[in-house]
Amino acid sequence: MIQDIILSKNFTEFQKGIVHKIHNKERLSREEGIELFSFDLGTLGILASYVNKQKNQDKVYFNKNFHIEPTNICIYDCTFCSYHRKINEAGSWEYSIDDILEKVKAYINSEVTEIHIVGGVHPNRDIHYYGEMIQKIKEILPDIHIKAFTAVELDFMIKKARLSTKEGLLRLKEYGLDSIPGGGAEIFEPEIRKKVCHEKSTAEQWLEIHETAHNVGIPSNATMLYGHLENHQHRIQHLFKLRELQDKTNGFNTFIPLKFKMANNPLSHLGEVNTFEDLKMFAVSRIFLDNFDHIKAYWPMLGKDVSQITLSFGVDDIDGTIDDSTKIYSMAGAKDQKPTMTTKELIELIKTSGKRPVERDTVYNVVKEY
């Protein structure tokens, strides 16, 4: 089929070379990655599906999870963010540890395997506060996998405790942290980063925290926020840096492109990229990130319908049940204002796309195949 693409398209020699490299499982350069965005969507879908099939056959993964968002109070004021609030501002919340434990108790004797914990960077909470929270959660659910704290949250809480990055991560591991999510990466390009999140941790700090986490045995995810002020070159440079780090550590579980949503933030005037561009982003990510086994479409962000379509553009994971436990994208205008899917609904979504559902744990061990 790859050879048929070359014969049927009016490709330049440069583009033909890219297709040959994909067919031969050869690594693409940054220039070739940028060129991928000029390919038509149908071709990108075929190429990304080819790459995905080599890695994952026809499997699509999901898990049984829920989110805890301890607070949306945040010291930072990112222009893309619809979520953050200041102390005592309307719409703010800060749950106590006891509040959070009450939420956790609802999942005793359930089949949930993961808790995803992220929130704002609260000025008064440090590593020991969150460490105690993790410990107490595991007293209630001793077998749960806790995936918690973006690199931006970690940067603040570790510095507040006057620890080095390595010391802080080891301390959190002792408390019971199992892995970290990919949030806070936004876009690595310095000039664009200044415009969308100038106050928060730099790209270099984000990468250093993830590298250190991998080196002390804490796996993580990776993300990129796309569809705002960046261009295709910035996106590929971001992917290139992630690919470089994955070469060094092999510590990333998955990559998740995150779409900028326009509601209730200072960048609302930009609007949002269309589904056509979403699908290109997922396909290019699958092709370019040759050392990542998994590409995830976060369905509360994209919606269920578009997430299903991404499965034909290189995606092999659509996250999990969620159980209406996150507000980050609903506050930014996502279609699903109360995001939840049952296991049955996830299985049906995957099967009707012609794929095979596989329930996984956080690090992609198979729990059950359907």
What's the CATH number where 220 sits?
3.20.20.70
Q: Is residue 48 part of a domain?
A: no
The angle subtended at Cα 271 by Cα 90 and Cα 37, nearest 5°, is 135
Predicted local distance difference test score (pLDDT) of residue 324 = 58
Distance CA 199, CA 193 (A): 9
Q: Give me the amino acid identity at 280.
A: K
Distance CA 76, CA 122 (A): 9
What does pLDDT average to in each consecutive run of 10 residues of the chain (370 residues)?
73 93 96 97 96 98 93 79 72 88 94 94 91 97 97 95 97 98 95 88 96 98 96 98 98 96 76 94 98 95 94 96 60 55 93 97 96
Q: Is residue 19 part of a domain?
A: no
- Least Cα distance to 183 among 148, 213, 212 occurs for 148
List helix spans (H) across the chain: 2-8, 13-23, 30-36, 41-56, 97-105, 127-140, 151-160, 165-175, 190-197, 203-215, 232-249, 275-288, 299-302, 304-310, 343-351
Q: Is residue 158 part of a domain?
A: yes
Rg (CA), the chain: 20
327-342 pLDDT, tens digit each: 454 444 445 556 678 9
Predicted local distance difference test score (pLDDT) of residue 61 = 98
Q: Is residue 195 part of a domain?
A: yes
- DSSP annotation of 254 reads E
Distance CA 270, CA 260 (A): 10
Q: Is residue 40 part of a domain?
A: no
| End-to-end CA, the chain | 29
Q: Give me the amino acid identity at 72.
A: N
Q: Is residue 293 part of a domain?
A: yes
Bridge partners for 359 per DSSP: 62, 368
Percent composition of the chain: helix, strand, coil (DSSP 3-state, to 5) = 45, 15, 40
DSSP SS3 for 307: helix
Q: Is residue 42 part of a domain?
A: no
Q: Is 31 exposed, middle or buried (0-12, 13-18, 19+ CB in 10 A)?
A: exposed
The angle subtended at Cα 150 by Cα 148 and Cα 154, nearest 5°, is 90
Report the 10 Å Cβ neighbour count for 226: 21
Token digits of residue 95: 């749950």
Q: Give me the amino acid identity at 61.
A: Y
Q: What is the number of domains present in the chain?
A: 1
Q: Is 179 exposed, middle or buried (0-12, 13-18, 19+ CB in 10 A)?
A: buried
Q: Is residue 13 part of a domain?
A: no
Predicted local distance difference test score (pLDDT) of residue 76 = 77
Q: Containing domain of residue 112, as a range?
A: 53-362
Predicted local distance difference test score (pLDDT) of residue 333 = 44
Axis-axis angle for helices 41-56, 13-23 (nearest 10): 20
Predicted local distance difference test score (pLDDT) of residue 332 = 42
